[in-house]
A and B are shown apart, each in its own frame.
Chain A
Amino acid sequence: MIAVRTHHGARALIGALAYVEDARGAAMGEVVELRQAGQPPRRGQVIDASDGLTVIQILEEPIGLAPARVAITLTGATAEAPVGRELLGRTLSGVAAPLDDLPPPIGEALRPVWGAPMNPVRRRPPGDFIETGVSAIDGLNTLVRGQKLPVFSGAGLPALELAAQIVEHARAGAGEPFAVVFAAIGITARETRLFVERLRASPARSRTVFYLNEARDPTIEQLMTPRFALAQAEFLAFDAGMHVLVVMADVAHYCETLRQVAAARDEVPGRRGYPGYMYTDLASLFERAGVLHDRPGSLTQLPILTMPDDDITHPVPDLTGYITEGQVVLSRELHGQGVFPPIDVLPSLSRLMNAGIGATKTAPEHRRWADQLYASYARGREARLMATIVGEAGLSDPDRRALTFAADFERELIGQGHARRTIGETIAVGWRLLAALPRDDLERIDDATWARRPGAAP
């Protein structure tokens, strides 16, 4: 890449895109500054470099920019983020400008915001149990370090509250350094406040960096916010050796912005107008989670996304689910019944659960315990559906028992409220619920496991 050069005037300004003619030596991803008398300076980046028309994506509000007067400077550099331990406790904008009346962060290093893919052979398979204190997660959809486990929410459901509770309660091992990176992507100030306030009283506060792009901020910046946050998270995890939990909310906003930019460039739209490369783009965020050989830290992601119309087949949750290692799905029905956290465990899944459970990590019988709870609850839910048609009297005896079980399960195991439960407490609640069923209904539990359950006759 060559040195700084400035062009006067743009050929066209369309939405957040500027078109510049003959921008010699423009490079893909090159950082651009746009200046105009009487206007605040703006930043942008090259998304289509050409010896003809070069396309620049403007990251800030473009109102007032005049094609004839704007001066466009190509800086010769690609986007880099200041990263470091000193950023902990700071509140920054979506592109790492200070929002907390402190000077701009300098950090310990500058890192390319785009990151680089981890070499798959250098990845360590994640397998360290994270006790979140939430039964539906710890017991049935176990989270491990280095995993990416999104929360699929619906409008008005308490996804951020759940995330805040997890951040507050998640425990790293004794003396292990941990940190939280929070990326707000187009959420409201009220939502941000909710999260920040939950954290204020907790020890996690001083170990958190906030990257805030709220709904009132420039939308294009949303494409950069998670990347600034992840560059910082990667530094904390893999250079500073910390266990980092990244909370990103809301991925649906990010995807809408992606669609907006694609439409502005007249790209061929994919499903529901989202660009065909959205899978790849989302993967470039989510795949930055992981753990590496010979490095002590870990990067765990908890992205939050709102399913439009609670539709899990919508492209945003659908593509996310194909990339992430499972999902935690919130249920409007449970929320309506006052169950907190309102997690529907049937569509929820943690793909890395098996690596994080077992004798040395949680409990020796954890797998079969969870399988049986799932099987009995699924049967109960099926029976509930059937009962709406044929009535409870029309059910077989085992189905009637499963029906009762499902109600108890939702109330007692899922609906724990805001209290924290250890994994031991979670397992105990599960056994108590299973004990209400006759042995013959528990097909996923073998005799040896059954004999070892708590409270079994010796």
Chain B
Amino acid sequence: MTTATVTRVTGTLAEARPLREAGLYELVRVGARGLLGEIIRFKDEIATLQIYEDTTGLAVGAPVIATGAPLTVTLGPGLLGAMLDGVGRPLARLAAASGDFIAPGASAPTLDPARRWAFTATAALGAAVRGGDVLGTVEEQPGFVHRVLVPPGVEGALAALASGDYTVDEPIGRLADGTALTLAQRWPLRRPRPVAERLPADRPVVTGQRVFDLLFPLAEGGAVAVPGGFGTGKTVIEHGLARHADADVVVFVGCGERGNEIAEVVQEFPRLIDPKNGRPVMERTVLVVNTSNMPVVAREASVYLGVTIAEYYRDQGYRVAVMVDSLSRWAEALRDIAARLQEMPGEEGYPTHLASRLGQLYERAGRATAAGAPTRTGAVSLVCAVSPPGGDFSEPVTQASLRVAGGMWALDASLARKRQFPAVDWALSYSLYTDATAAWFADAAGLDWAAVRTRVLALLQRDAELREIAGLLGHEALQDRDRVVIDVARMLHEHLLGQSAYDPIDAACPVAKTGRMAALAVAALDAALAAVERGATIDELELPALRRAYVALRAAPPDAIAARAADVERAIAALEVRR
């Protein structure tokens, strides 16, 4: 360990010397309180440190201790259900140590050092093992098998391994060369974990949101950006996905956002039941939380921490979804640090390395065959909220995200103001995963998903054109067949694309129901247009009755979907009754 003294403190940065023996990105402890920091630059004799905690009171002359290792996270059983701060400290144990408010310099290990886990060894003694091989299992949560892996880069003959109860730090076995094996392993969070082979996307992550599953799907291993001004519902979407997305593990990174929203998650997730296994959603969730008033440098680390944890479960063969809310706050942390380093600013003050750092981050999403034996396939899917200043998508973080993300769910303030949620601008949004996921959806819903999707988009497009005309020439200028389009499109906007996050039934929509609702809207349009073609006027059509039946279908619980869908079919057949 090398020691040095602080020569300067300005905001979140400090300078110290001499630290010539230390390495770049090495972790340091600063001052009497032992504030956590990281070396980010060497220049002449001076090392620049970014400090992960509040620096108020840190004085020139304070001691600096270099720890000899970069910022790492301890990965092992006990992560599921945990709530960590941006550098991996468990918030509950920090509260036990320092109370309701977080005191600088507090420390607590990521995983509970006292907890014992029942480990079942599966690897054969004497076998040659290497990074990624499964040594055995631990039941981390009821029904959730945590696979204990040989850490990447480690290999040798397995000399000892025994089932039993262990803490995360106790040796469960060793290699012939004496290397101890434990339930936990450490990994530097800025470095992607290795995989055997990256795989193309072949199925979606079902979001339960009709507008996404139908029009802009997220592929397993894919990444989408969700840009939207304030109040457009980014956080509600991210929370909804964390609740309902069909993933084995969900990592939610609250990066520079509101404490009260996190409090809501913390209260709600342990009570919310995952319908797939009847267990609380919290048991499959890892929360990484760095609220906007917590230290800005830790905000930068929090996103890497979340992705590293996700990769660790991917390596065990799980499908992991990561939600980041919001990536803009992460980018602002980069900007803040770069500005204090007096780096030459790029666009809007962001550092010139913004795009490349963003690219590296998005690339950590993906489907892959994990390293090691037995063969496992896992995926990390990434959904990143972006908060463009003034809701202007031309800003650097949105634009850099779009270059690397496979989809954009663009949120629109004018829809939000009408309380049309999710406020997705369907004309601006896109997904590059529609082809890769269409077959899976078609199979799950039992209908031609791609064809229905095309028809819905065409209807939305036609509706937008017609409304533009009506806006210029008046409603009178439209013919009945155009008014029918507008009428059905209104129903579609309101009840197919619109979805209430607060209604227990509507909050998550099964794929089959989404497909059915979309197909029925298209059938209704065809029937209404055919009737007009036969000479009916729009006032003679029973469109209000159709809409009522459609609203009832939207509100239908799973066991009533078939009956309500049949009602809509009858209403379509009876459209011309009034005549």
Q: How far is the CB of B133 from chain A (nearest CB, A)?
A: 36
Stretch of A45-53, A161-169, A188-196 on the interface side: A45-53
B475 touches A276 (CB 8 A): no
A116-142 at interface with B (beta carbon < 8 Å):
116-126
Cβ contacts under 8 Å, B566 to chain A? none
- Find the A residue at minimum CB distance from B104: A116
Residues in A whose Cβ lies below 8 Å from that of B54: 114, 116
Q: Mark A289-333, 1 if CB is under 8 A from B, else 0.
A: 110110100000000000000000111001101110111000000
A322-B230, A391-B474 given; A443·B551 CB < 8 A: yes
- Which residue from chain A places its CB closest to the CB of B416 in the assembled complex? A349
The segment from B7-15, B19-27, B179-187, B189-197 found at the interface with A is B7-15
* Residues of chain A contacted by B413 (CB below 8 angstroms): 347
Q: Which residues of A contact B100 (CB under 8 A)?
A: 118-119, 122, 238, 292-293, 295
Any A CB within 8 A of the CB of B289: yes
Q: How far is the CA of A315 from the CA of B332 in the complex (A)?
A: 14
Q: Which chain A residues (84-137) contact chain B, with CB distance < 8 Å? A: 112, 114-126
B residues in contact with A437, CB < 8 Å? none
A352/B260 contact (C-beta < 8 A), A117-B293, A268-B349, A391-B474 known: yes
Q: A123 CA to B100 CA in the complex, in Å? A: 8
Q: How far is the CA of A323 from the CA of B261 in the complex (A)?
A: 11
Inter-subunit contact B292/A323 (CB<8 Å): yes
The one of B11, B59, B83 in contact with A121, judged by C-beta atoms closer than 8 angstroms, is: B83
Complex alpha-carbon distance, A109 and B153, angstroms: 55
In the complex, what residues of A have CB within 8 A of residue B229's CB?
318, 321
Choose, from A175-183, A205-213, A278-286, the stretch at the interface: A278-286
Query: With A24-B61, A390-B473 known to touch, is A287 a contact of B293 (CB < 8 Å)?
Result: yes
A374 to B471, Cβ gap below 8 A?
no
Q: Across the two chains, which residue of chain A brings its CB closest to B343?
A: A268
Enumerate chain A residues within 8 angstroms of B230, measured Cβ to Cβ: 318, 321-322
B418–A287 CB distance below 8 A? no
Of the residues B59, B260, B292, B293, contact of A146 by C-beta under 8 Å: B260
A-B pairs with beta carbons under 8 Å apart, 10 shown: A27-B58, A117-B294, A120-B259, A268-B349, A277-B332, A313-B392, A315-B390, A321-B230, A347-B413, A378-B417
Additional A-B contact list (13), CB under 8 Å, known A24-B61, A25-B60, A276-B336: A25-B61, A27-B60, A48-B9, A52-B8, A116-B101, A119-B94, A121-B92, A288-B293, A371-B419, A378-B417, A386-B471, A394-B474, A396-B483
B174 within 8 A of A: no
Contact (Cβ within 8 A) B263 A323: no
A41 within 8 A of B: no
Which residues from A are CB-within-8-Å of B44?
none
Please give me the residue from chain B that is nearest to A282 by CB atom.
Answer: B292
- Contact string, A328-344, partner B, CB cutoff 8 A, digits 1/0? 00000000000000000
Q: Which residues of B contact A24 (CB under 8 A)?
A: 60-61
Given A78-B56, A114-B54, A389 and B471 touching (CB < 8 A)?
yes
Residue among B7, B95, B292 with the highest chain A CB neighbour number at 10 A: B292
> What does the 1/0 interface line of B87-112 toward A look like (CB < 8 Å)?
00001101100111111100000000
Cα–Cα, bound, A115→B102 (Å): 10
Given contacts A121-B83, A122-B95, contact A399 B475 (CB under 8 A): yes
| Docked complex Cα distance between A146 and B15 (Å) | 38
Which residues does chain B contribute within 8 Å of A114, judged by CB atoms?
54, 56
| Interface: A354 (CB within 8 A) | yes
Which residues of B are found within 8 Å of A283, using beta-carbon distances? 256, 291-293
CB distance A313 to B390 under 8 Å?
Answer: yes
A4 in contact (CB, < 8 A): no
In chain A, what residue has the closest Cβ to B55? Answer: A28
A-B contact count (CB 8 A): 246
- Interface centre among B7, B289, B293, B392, by most chain A C-beta atoms within 10 angstroms, is B293
The CA-CA distance from A370 to B101 in the complex, in Å, is 36
Q: Which of B101, B494, B495 has the most CB of A within 10 A?
A: B101
Distance in angstroms between the alpha carbons of A393 and B471 in the assembled complex? 13
- The yes or no answer to A355 lying at the interface (CB within 8 A) is yes
Residues of A within 8 A of B289 (CB): 120
- Cβ contact within 8 Å between A124 and B101: no
CA–CA, A379 to B418, complex, Å?
Answer: 8
Complex CA gap A1/B32 in Å reads 10
CA distance A147 to B260 in the complex (A): 8
Q: A268-B345, A280-B292 are in contact. Are A49 and B59 (CB under 8 A)?
A: yes
- In B21-67, the 8 Å CB interface with A consists of 54-61
Q: Give the size of the chain B interface in residues (CB under 8 angstroms).
A: 83
Minimal beta-carbon separation of B6 from chain A (angstroms): 8
Within 8 A of A (CB), among B287-321: 289, 291-294, 296
Report which of A268, A271, A440 forms a contact with B339, defined as CB distance below 8 A. A268
Task: Please indicate the chain B residues that have their CB under 8 angstroms from the CB of A49 in the complex.
Answer: 8-10, 58-60
Chain A residues with CB under 8 A of B267:
124-125
B56 with A327: CB separation less than 8 A: no
Interface, chain B (partner A; CB < 8 A)? 7-11, 15, 54-61, 83, 91-92, 94-95, 98-104, 229-231, 235, 254, 256, 258-264, 266-268, 289, 291-294, 296, 329, 332, 335-336, 339, 342, 345, 348-349, 387, 389-392, 413, 416-419, 470-477, 483, 494-495, 502, 544, 547, 551, 555
A393 engages B91 (CB within 8 Å) = no
Task: Give the distance in Å from the alpha carbon of A250 to the alpha carbon of B563 in the complex.
Answer: 57
A residues within 8 A CB of B262? 120, 123
**Complex-state Cα separation, A26 to B9, whole angstroms:** 9
Give complex CA distance A284, B291 in Å.
10
CA distance A54 to B230 in the complex (A): 38
Residues of A contacting B101 in the complex (Cβ-Cβ under 8 angstroms): 115-119
A279 to B91, CA, bound (A): 24
Contact of B56 among A29, A52, A124, A323 (CB under 8 A): A29
Q: Which residues of B contact A351 (CB under 8 A)?
A: 231, 235, 261
Asked if A48 meets B389 with Cβ closer than 8 Å, knowing A26-B60, A121-B92, A290-B259, the reply is: no
CB of B288 to closest CB in A, whole Å:
11
Contacts known (A28-B56, A49-B9); A270 close to B348, Cβ less than 8 A: yes
B14 to chain A, nearest CB (A): 9
Whether the pair A28, B349 counts as a contact (CB closer than 8 A) is: no
Closest chain B CB from A399 CB (angstroms):
7
Q: Point out the residues of chain B lying under 8 angstroms from A1, CB to CB.
A: 57, 59
CA distance A139 to B339 in the complex (A): 44
B390 nearest in chain A by CB position: A313
The answer to whether A287 touches B258 (Cβ under 8 A) is yes
Do A321 and B231 touch (CB < 8 A)?
yes
Max count, chain A CB within 10 A of own CB: residue among B59, B332, B391: B59
Complex CA gap A290/B263 in Å reads: 10
Residue of B nearest to A122 (CB): B100
What residues of chain B lie closer than 8 Å to A375, measured between beta carbons? 418-419
Q: Which residues of A contact B104 (CB under 8 A)?
A: 116
In the complex formed, the residue of A with least CB distance to B7 is A51
Q: A327 vs B103: C-alpha distance in the bound complex, in angstroms?
A: 31
Complex CA distance for A268 and B392, rounded to whole angstroms: 21
| Chain B residues whose C-beta falls within 8 Å of the C-beta of A288 in the assembled complex | 293
CA distance A319 to B95 in the complex (A): 29
Q: Is A363 an interface residue, CB under 8 A from the partner? A: no
CB distance from A292 to the nearest CB of B (A): 5
Contacts of B57 in A (CB 8 A): 1, 27-30, 78
Judged by a CB distance under 8 angstroms, whether A408 is at the interface is: no
Partner of A276 from B61, B91, B339 at Cβ < 8 Å:
B339
Q: Digit string of A2-21 for contact with B (CB within 8 Å is 1, else 0)?
A: 10000000000000000000
Contacts of A346 in B (CB 8 A): 417-418
Q: How far is the CA of A125 from the CA of B265 in the complex (A)?
A: 9
| Residues in chain B near residue A284, CB distance under 8 A | 293
* Complexed CA–CA distance, A270 and B470 (Å): 42
Within the complex, which residue of B7, B10, B99 is in contact with A47, where a contact is CB–CB below 8 Å? B10
